[in-house]
Structure 1
């Protein structure tokens, strides 16, 4: 086979066995290893731990609808469309190359092909639900006794498909809570909250598909994104009347700002202002000397900037983000703040001491809001999009407050360190079997390793109910009546959706869940 010629021949048709191979290798032998007489298996998906994300007492449930459409429907379509002999022959060849001589065979694959669909039922909490850590959010079982092996066979694809968007959605929800808390505390403009955390992670994601799914998770809590692939992903897998899904603004990168060198930097800035005479435009400003831009170039452009019908947003992109934004002089209390203001007025501090927020405020002016915090003039703004974490975001807001600035003066770009430097372990996400039917008898299954108590799994049929406060809790070894009342309900059965949500509905669910959780916490504080 000529590799170059094969690749140059053009797009190949979808592999009829690709979906079959979207599983860990050891899954191929499990069908033969199960107890004889097994006819049904129930598996669940649970985010079991927040050890690596302690602020996340709850996880945002997200991604199962996309999994059902992208994997259970789209990925398996070529398998069912191909001829049975083609599927079986290709599958057997892979098994031989992979395992060597084996007894796995392809009769079960032929039977599945003749079935014409995946005989499964997928049950799920409504997406957007804030599920307490340790609560099952997805249940899957077979609908045909012959295919008892199928629920656990698709475990790998299920896990690979939803752990990342769930984790990112959870992290972005924490950012949303943080910016709302500090916005309310410092009296900032609530209209800008939806854009205060902006997705800059695309280039550092593991793949284009990963960026799209992750970007959708972020957009459940915010509108700001540069990950445009998320928009198509959302329209494909969460269609409906979704309204305003995401947005960004014209912005420059270093190739633009550095093209004319240090000597041409002022001309470059002025050209950008002419090319974009109105609206918001963002310019990266650390190509050569960030503080020089703020103290030398911006004063030369002040009249042009103030005459625009819009905002010029300045973007530093190097250094410690906390210090760059708020300055290297730390103000801890009102007494030190008064001393700081006096020393600043006496010219004791340079721009790095003051931070970008103070330098821009001194140059362009500011107003004071009803809570007594300063807000930059509407013609100038500030965004930082490098090395931002939840902890650094909190530090930035704390320092801004200490210096008398509203938290909403700064937009934070969230990059791949936050959205891609993750694993399934961040939320301890896992799929486990909890129940089976063997020779007509129900069997509760539980993993309970003596060497790892944190990996103990749930047991039996499962139901998720709400207590008198509205909080979710899980019932193990649930009765049929409890299962009927469960918040986990069928969404996909035997190849067809029986329930679905638009992206707007998932967003609304999450917003309502955050509000309800805030009310519960407020009640708990009153009782204390």
Structure 2
């Protein structure tokens, strides 16, 4: 018998900034920008704008995530810096700066001055979160409130952009899904309240970490109530807490559900039928979801569920069947629903296809209807019996969702017969360029004179052209948000861009319920 001994290896000490950490949440090249601005600069105004869209049909972006950034970064992340001894904080800043750049030619008096202020001397003006903001109209602006801290406005651009673009992008994609599902519900006679639960967030495991999953998950929950991303609850309660008269209520909801490990472990002890029976024993009432394609999905539909029909129908609740492999539209609606396929596929001897002989031809919804039946709603569309349901939780995209609802409608089924789970493809397979989200300066005060700033690269197609001057946002005659460039003081005062945070404190806050109400999707 051979034994091995392991020596304990001590990792080298890693020194990280603890007091000044927030000051280094930026691009290294920004550290010295203060002295590169023109002499006499005392003011900078920048804005956050979504300049374009890579998603067909999306021309407005939901403003969301700024309030979380203002609390998490502008307030909480800077708290250790402002609470620390001034000399200790400055010394740590200098040490980190020298480790990055070598000899410190940037200086640290501006950091010492910031410490003495005790807060970030900035003002953020924004439209209410939850607002659908047209492309090329700013969602918010940032400006310094003390002349010596003009450098701070774009110093925080990096962390600001990183914090806001993703929850805003997710909120916009969820809003787009919601529009598709609402249209399908209206067409097939479904109460829009049912749509609240028709898109379920399964994206947590595909995200770059818990922080991004939580923020993105909150964007999803502006339009839907179903989610398995539990980290979002704490994020919402921390950054968008309930307030008097605006209780957040249900932030997210889910149901007991199996996964493939449960089904595989069950099969190792007994048959798949007995696994279903055990699950029903454990959940005699309520909703329970069972992944059903670990082995043979259509055998579950045609072999197991008919055996369990009476037991399922006698439950005070719903058994939800979940496939998550194969082509979603074909699995749900059947290959027969593909345009033109029914005519192209020959039936031997001219006979009719049978459910048992070709289950994929019919699809899951029709097979469940054949076993459990259901009702026909006021618009003439079939709705599965309330004791049985279907969720598809893999490979769903906006185009596939639209295709599935269209095919269900053609088959005579209401849209509520299927719930979708969306994952990282919808919410993580995006970038800051999905909506060309950017922070750009548009105005500067230099030697007491205001200057309109404009970025307009000759080699660009126009996407990167910035707004210019002081900015205001108003509503046009059609009710849509409109940008006013080179705004007058009177136009700024009447602007929808109103202060939400100034000099270290919120001037207004929204609960999560407030943001949901502004967007107006939840029925």
- Among candidates 482, 495, 510, match of residue 501 of structure 1: 510
* Deviations, residues 342-364 of structure 1 (Å, cap 9, x unaligned): 97676596111111111111011
CA shift at 1:6, angstroms? 6.3
CA spacing shift, 1:367–1:332, aligned 2, 3 Å: farther
Q: Does 1:246 align with 2:236?
A: no
Q: Within 5 A, what are the aligned runs for 1:335-346?
A: none
- 1:431 aligns to what? 439
Deviates more, 1:254-263 or 1:345-354: 345-354
- Matched with 1:449 is 457
Residue of structure 1 equivalent to 2:378: 370
1:295 Cα deviation from its structure 2 partner: 1.1
| Rounded Cα–Cα distance in structure 2 between residues aligned with 1:67 and 1:485 | 25
The answer on whether the counterparts of 2:17 and 2:96 sit within 8 Å (CA) in structure 1 is no
1:475 alignment partner in structure 2: 484
- 1:114-513 pair list within 5 angstroms: 114-240=116-242, 241-261=247-267, 263-330=270-337, 332=339, 350-452=358-460, 453-511=462-520
By percentage of residues, which structure has more helix? 1
Offset at residue 423 of structure 1 (A): 0.5
2:51 to 45, 48, 53: 48
Tell me the C-alpha RMSD between the 2 structures: 2.1
Tell me the secondary structure at the aligned position of residue 195 of structure 1.
coil
Mapped partners of 1:86, 1:377: distance in 2? 68
Conserved 8 A contact 1:61-1:127? yes
Structure 1 distance, partners of 2:140, 2:170, is: 18
Q: Report what 1:35 is aligned to.
A: 38
Q: Whole-Å Cα distance in 1 between the matches of residues 205 and 459 of structure 2?
A: 40
Offset of residue 5 of structure 1: 8.7
Contact preservation (8 Å) 1:14, 1:78? no
TM-superposed CA distance for 1:55, in Å, is 1.8
8 A Cα contact 2:125 2:501, kept in partner = yes
Runs of 4+ with deviation above 4 angstroms = 2-7, 342-349
Q: Which residue of the other structure, out of 28, 38, 41, is the alignment partner of 1:25?
A: 28
Indicate if the aligned counterparts of 2:355 and 2:362 stay in contact, CA closer than 8 A.
no
Tell me how far 1:62 sits from its aligned partner. 0.4
Task: Identify unmatched segments of 5+ residues in structure 1.
Answer: 516-528
3-state DSSP class of the match of 1:310? strand
CA positional deviation for 1:13: 11
Separation in structure 1 between the aligned mates of residue 329 and residue 166 of structure 2, nearest angstrom: 28
Q: What is the rounded CA distance, in whole Å, between the counterparts of 2:425 and 2:330 in structure 1?
A: 19
Deviates more, 1:261-270 or 1:249-258: 261-270
- Secondary structure at the residue paired with 1:280? strand
Tell me: CA distance 1:438–1:511, structure 2 relative to 1, closer, same or farther (3 Å).
same
> 1:408 deviation in Å?
1.0
**Is the 1:205–1:416 Cα contact (8 Å) retained in structure 2?**
yes
TM-score when normalising by structure 1: 0.92
- Aligned residue for 1:519? none
CA 1:77/1:361 → structure 2, altered by over 3 Å: closer, same or farther?
same
The whole-number CA distance in structure 2 between the counterparts of 1:299 and 1:145 is: 75
Provide closer, same or farther for how the CA distance between residues 343 and 103 of structure 1 changes in structure 2, counting only shifts above 3 A: farther
